[in-house]
Structure 1
Amino acid sequence: MHIQRSIERHQLPYYLKVFNRITDKPMGYLGNVSLDGLLLISQLPLLVGARFDMRLKIPGHDTPRYIDFSATCQWSCEDVTPGYYDSGFSLLAPPADYVEMVDALRHYFSFRPLVIVI
């Protein structure tokens, strides 16, 4: 039996790439975000306890939009996919742009009941 999805599946890691703000080199992809932190999926393990200056480059704009923030790596371990690592980061004081992005992603990726007004 073939079941067709009524809601398109979106994979966050394919859209939001994280860069080192100082070197502009890619660090990995966002796997998960919250107001307190994020999960980074990368090809290298990251140093636990280190503070990283990061930049998100938001796609879909005529002019590049950046969200700059600093985060501390709390843990890093091998991903279930060979050759990749998951690292958890905490943000002490996320900037307003980051908070706005988390809220927008929460809204975009969540299921909401259909409201019918009669």
Structure 2
Amino acid sequence: MIHDSRRAPRRHVTESIPVIDTMTDEIIGQLGNLSESGMLLIASAPLVEDALYQLRFHLGARGMGAPVNVGVHLLWSVDANTPGQSWCGFRFLTISDDQRGHIRDWVRAGEEAAAG
């Protein structure tokens, strides 16, 4: 059994949700999992550890919901098995209360769906 010691529950993302660097307006990867305090990115662009980024993604049906804008800190990055990709762990530094609540509701909906 794997023990998850993170404080905030996370939801694994099963659909393709692109993540955009708002400074360059470029897609830098796909959302891997999400909590109200951070996210895992499957990056397809080179990123710098310990750097700050402004990111945007959309939650909802097929990633077409309202945009979520976050200021993030890249805590760690490791190469993925796919060449040119890496796994990147971010914590949220700036996020509105409304958007944090939206993420919290999205994570809970995934937990409820999994519980059946």
- State if a TM-score over 0.5 links the two structures: yes
Question: After superposition, where does 1:1-118 map in structure 2 within 5 Å?
Answer: 12=13, 14-58=15-59, 60=61, 65-110=66-111, 111-112=114-115
Unaligned runs of 5+ in 2: 1-11
Q: Identity over aligned residues, as a percent?
A: 25
Aligned length: 102
User: Aligned with 2:115: secondary structure?
Assistant: coil
Higher helix share: 2
User: Aligned with 1:26: secondary structure?
Assistant: strand
RMSD of the TM alignment (CA)?
2.5
User: Aligned with 1:92: secondary structure?
Assistant: strand
TM-score w.r.t. the length of structure 1 is 0.70
Q: How far off is 1:77 after superposition?
A: 0.7
TM-score w.r.t. the length of structure 2 is 0.71
Q: How far off is 1:60 after superposition?
A: 4.5
What code does the residue aligned with 2:72 have?
A: A
Evaluate the alpha carbon distance shift between residue 13 and residue 19 of structure 1 in structure 2; reply closer, same or farther with a 3 A threshold.
Answer: farther
Runs of 4+ off more than 6 Å? none
Q: How far off is 1:98 after superposition?
A: 3.1
Unaligned runs of 5+ in 1: 1-10, 114-118
Higher strand share: 2
Larger mean CA deviation between 12-21 and 32-41 belongs to: 12-21
Q: How far off is 1:64 after superposition?
A: 6.8
CA distance in 2, matches of 1:69, 1:49: 16
